Every structure is written in C-alpha cells, then in structure tokens.
Amino acid sequence: MRRTVFAAVLVGLVVIASLAPWAPPSAPAQGVDVYINVTGGGSKKLNIAIPTFTVVSGTDASGHAKMLAGAALHGLLVVRGERLEAEMRLYDLTSPNHALIASKKFDAGAPQARRLAHRISDEVVLQFTGEPGVADTKIAYVVGRPGAREILVADYDGAGAAPATRNGSINLMPVWSPDARSIAFTSFMNGYPDLFRMFPFEPQRPVQTLAAFSGINSSPAWSPDGRFLALTLSLHGNPEIYVLTVATGKLERLTRHAAIDTEPVWSPTGRQIAFVSDRAGQPRIHVMDADGTNVRQLTSGGFHTQPRWSPKGNIILYTQRQGTHDLWAIDASGANPRPITAGPGDNQGAAWAPDGRHLAFQSNRTGRWQLYFMLLDGSALTQIPLGVNDATSPTWSPRLP
C-alpha cells in the first residue's frame, strides 16, 4: 500500500567564508512557500517545503534569489559581484531536533543561476532517492517543416532553447555523446544524408564530418565509452549496421543480410546492440552481440521500430505501429512486452533520462507534433513548452559535467 510521508525541508545557503554553527531562523522566510513532491525508489512520495530565498549578502539586482526559488530550492544566497556562493543545508523538520540530512557547497557565475538551482535540486533528489535528479540535463530536438529542419538545445524542461544548427538544411536524428559535450546527427547540408558531429557548448569548434559514404549515413548511436559510433550505411547497396571508431575512422560491418537492418542502440554495458530488421517479414526489434554475432529476435507480432535501451539495462523501449503509433516496453530478456502509451494520436521516438525513470517522446495528440515528459509507467504526463513549431526527435543528454 502506498505510504505518503511529509517532510518539510529548509535549506540554508550561507557564505562559505563565514560559516558558523547554524540554528533555524527565528523569523519566517519572506514570500510564499513552495511545496514539491519527490518520489523515492519505491512508491514512497515525499513532500518538500521550499521557502523563498533570502539574500544575506550582496545586492541581488538581477533577481537570482527568485530564479533559484522558482527552479528548485530556497535558502540564503550570497552575491559577490558576478559570482553566486551557497551552501545547501537540508533539514528534516519532521524529526524532533530538525536533523541535518545533507550539506553541500555550491558556487557559480551569475549567468548560471538557473543551473545552480538545478544542481541543488539534483542533490536533494539524491538525498531522498539515492540517485541524482535530472534537472541539470539538456534535451536536443528537431524543429521546422519538411525541407527545413534545425536542431535546438534546451534545458530539460524546455527553457533556454537555442539553435544548435543554422545551416538551413534538413538536420535529423540528434543523439548526445556520453560525455554530454557533443551531438551526432544526420544532415543534408552538403546535399546528401551524411553524418556529422557538433559541439553545442563550444560554438567556436567546427562541425566534424563522421561519415559521408555513398548512399545513406544515418541512425547514429554512441557506445557507452564514447569511442565508437554504431550507424546505418547503404555503402554496399542494402542498409546495414556498421561500427565506426571515432578517433581513427575505422569502419567495421556488423550485419550482412538481404533485409534492412537499421536503428542500432547500445546496451549500457556496451556488450550488445539492439536494432530494427525486417528479416522476419515486418520490422521487429533484434539484439546482437557488439561484434555482430549471436543475432536474436526480441519482439514479435507487430511493426516495431525505434528501440531505446534503458540506462539501467533492464528494459528496451520501442514504437509499435498498429493503426497509430504507441510506445511499448519489453524486458531486455525478451519477456513481458507491455504498452506505455495508448493514444491519443501517435506517440513515438522515446528518449530516456539518465535516471532511467523519466521519458521524453513526441506526440501529435493536440494536432501538431510536440514533446512530452512522463514517468516510465505512463504517469505524470507533461507537455514541454517549446513554442508553436513542430518539435520531434527528442534526445536527452547525460548529466552535465
């Protein structure tokens, strides 16, 4: 039976240079308190109280205290010119002595106030669930109409969206590297579907060409260590799966079949690759060892595409077409296929958050393509506010360095 526990938590943010024994303030914080919910690793839900930030040193003309409170937690904030200094102290007010749960120091440049709030938020989630939250992450996605599609990067919640490509061409299939510093993608910027790599946080770095072979260069997928890229090439006529050594350009062919083999994705261990093949008559999800051996069919009885291996390795998501498209999950062993969505409209192209609990996906349930969040069980559905243009192909970054 679900057990709900209320935990009111006060976070003190104090200047590091003048730390002293802390006691709860005698007067209440100014402003309106905020309450958020954190769901633990099981079914327990924790309610957390977040009083409005109080500036205890410096001048906060830019309203960083309000930004922090609105994004994640509240406490005391020190503004030192263009630097923000903080110490998070997390207390359990349900305990008789208001026990200290955690304390951690943070600092950031003033322009990164929102990211500082996200880091604090992720630390709080870590304390309650044993795993950091996903606030300090990014999403990349595709916007535009047929014939002109660009890739944008935004905070995980859609804030701060900015173009990552500006070439006026068709840019597709973005996927984050494991170090969260680069994105591989397919683009027609040179007139053909070639594979490229860009560095969204280092705009001075030029776009790199990863694969520009004759025919199709698509469906990039990074290995967990970032050394290899699985991809689909029609280099020899039929779409097959290859592995590219990123540092040297060495190419290794993994599949050799008259059917179409495409959409590879690595397991978190790097030992297996899931992919789509129509060798059984219709597209189905298959799995092979990372060297191309031991191929086995994972799904059956449908039209299945877009495999997505979970960060924890136990589940593979995929898209099933049966009239409309919906998201399904299956255990990595091939057992227990089950639907995650059931309309309305088409729901497809899932992307895992690094915690393995949250998903982003695209849906046209409102009449146009937009991106949504939800938990793995399909609950807590939320539309990501990304403007009026169609938005598709979400990819969720790892936690930022």
Q: How confident is the model at residue 44 (pLDDT cuts 50, 70, 90)?
A: low
Domain assignments of the chain as residue spans, ordered by start: 4-129, 138-396
Indicate whether 212 pLDDT > 50.
Answer: yes
* Tokens 């938990």 sit on residue: 375
If one compares 31 and 295, the residue with the highest pLDDT of the two is 295
This prediction has a pTM of 0.84
Indicate whether 16 pLDDT > 60.
Answer: no
Q: What is the mean pLDDT of residues 116-137?
A: 90
Q: What is the mean pLDDT of residues 182-205?
A: 96
Cα-based distances in Å from 269 to 191, 273, 274: 36, 10, 12
Q: How confident is the model at residue 48 (pLDDT cuts 50, 70, 90)?
A: low
User: How many Å apart are CA 257 and CA 274, to the nearest integer?
Assistant: 16
**CATH number for region 4-129:** 3.40.50
pLDDT tens column, 320-343: 999 999 999 999 999 999 999 998
Domain 138-396 has CATH 2.120.10.30: yes
- The alpha carbon dihedral of 173, 176, 178, 179 has a sign of positive
* Tokens 């059917």 sit on residue: 259
Tokens of 264: 């590879």
Q: How confident is the model at residue 40 (pLDDT cuts 50, 70, 90)?
A: very low
Q: Spell out the residues 6+ positions from residue 352 whose beta carbon is closer than 8 angstroms to its own.
A: 308, 310, 311, 317, 358, 359, 396
